[in-house]
Structure 1
């Protein structure tokens, strides 16, 4: 499976990644407000591909560093994509009953004994994200972020997120300020995220945001 990722050029974007996986027989299995998901032909793995995801490296770090707890998804591969995109290849996950999800979130929030080691890792990496990233949100307690791994165990996924409403509002109202805080290579495709839950986002608004940020970038380059 990693051969697909290895075949991508160094400057591969989210479009290149999606095309490569589709050509290899991976099929659409989900879409959210930040990413799409494709399932492997044998059904054992999924790849999450986002055009723009500042917290992706922190989520991948959580999956790696907490792997021994068996309370996070198994991460097969992670790669940053050109323009601020993010790719994560994970074991196939299944939905859980909402009550089970809420109980697991409660255990995390209260640092119950059976999740204490996981919680310590979650909080440490989240503190790094809050310190290093603009617009990093609090821990996400959406029940949909608790799922079952292939062996039936409960796992926590996507606990970190960017505060989209504030991030995008700032980009629209103060493009110069936004551009100064987030370099262009890290948000080139920020207007291309899918909005399966919060959409639609009309083309005119997207274009206005792109234009405002491009003008801010050009003005900053002239000052250098």
Structure 2
């Protein structure tokens, strides 16, 4: 992996971002859960997150293979502190919207994140890999549903498709966990909603990019500390 700096496995996501920037990588995008960097030659990308269990399932499946023309090439998943990680993969670019819409129709997996997929005909590239992709995404959906109480399911939509340097479509983020319900559980003191996650994992969750510095995020951190802090013994009678 040319130009890839050494990132220690105990580094935080912020430290990983600083190491990438120092090595000449530039930030090319920020999502709700991660920051994306491109290497100086625009050949590789690095997706950095302190916590994102849904994308980890997808990235691991891409890394383990087999290769599929509709999935990005993942070269490595580098561990960070606790459950953070850096996904090193091929460099991708925005996909033509019309092509992405037609692809979603051809794939035929209903979106479960609240995005209403319009039906768009005209996709003429259906092949064996598309059928295998459909099976793999459904298998990931089933795995996530078994592991997480707040599992979301399919997030197939045009915004989660990108294209490689030759313009070939790639599915980059097909599944999701319900982050807003994690926030709700923290805000409302619902320990029963948060049993999938440790205190440290939830602290890391509150550092993903969607939580901008400010009073709202500070308030959630205070509620998390109170929710999962030590329980005081009852007062003497």
In the superposition, the TM-score normalised over structure 1's length comes to 0.85
1:19 aligns with 2:30: no
Structure 1 segment 95-174 matched on structure 2, within 5 A: 95-109=94-108, 113-114=127-128, 115-174=130-189
Uncovered stretches (5+) of structure 1, i.e. residues with no partner: none
Q: Secondary structure at the match of 1:89?
A: strand
Higher relative contact order (CA 8 A, sep 6+): 1
1:206 shift after superposition: 1.3
Which range moved further: 119-128 or 167-176? 167-176
State the Cα deviation string for residues 20-73 of structure 1 (Å, max 9, x = none): 111111011111111111110111111111222121320112312454222100
Alpha-carbon spacing, 1:14–1:2, altered in 2? closer, same or farther (3 Å): farther
Alpha-carbon spacing, 1:77–1:98, altered in 2? closer, same or farther (3 Å): same
Alpha-carbon spacing, 1:66–1:98, altered in 2? closer, same or farther (3 Å): farther
1:210 shift after superposition: 1.4
Q: Distance in 1 between matches of 2:104 and 2:94?
A: 15
Alpha-carbon spacing, 1:140–1:123, altered in 2? closer, same or farther (3 Å): same
1:219 alignment partner in structure 2: 230
Q: Distance in 2 between matches of 1:62 and 1:170?
A: 29
1:210 alignment partner in structure 2: 221
Alpha-carbon spacing, 1:11–1:4, altered in 2? closer, same or farther (3 Å): same
Alpha-carbon spacing, 1:28–1:213, altered in 2? closer, same or farther (3 Å): same
Alpha-carbon spacing, 1:56–1:79, altered in 2? closer, same or farther (3 Å): farther
Structure 1 segment 8-87 matched on structure 2, within 5 A: 8-87=7-86
State the Cα deviation string for residues 92-142 of structure 1 (Å, max 9, x = none): 112122111011111222696541111111111221012102322121122
Q: Distance in 2 between matches of 1:170 and 1:120?
A: 32
Alpha-carbon spacing, 1:201–1:152, altered in 2? closer, same or farther (3 Å): closer
Alpha-carbon spacing, 1:180–1:140, altered in 2? closer, same or farther (3 Å): closer
Which range moved further: 46-55 or 181-190? 181-190
1:153 shift after superposition: 1.9
Uncovered stretches (5+) of structure 2, i.e. residues with no partner: 111-125
Which range moved further: 210-219 or 28-37? 210-219
Structure 1 segment 88-99 matched on structure 2, within 5 A: 88-99=87-98
Alpha-carbon spacing, 1:220–1:156, altered in 2? closer, same or farther (3 Å): farther
Alpha-carbon spacing, 1:221–1:92, altered in 2? closer, same or farther (3 Å): farther
Give the alignment's Cα RMSD to 1 decimal.
2.5
Q: Distance in 1 between matches of 2:62 and 2:70?
A: 9
Bigger fraction of residues in helix: 1
2:117 alignment partner in structure 1: none
1:220 shift after superposition: 5.9
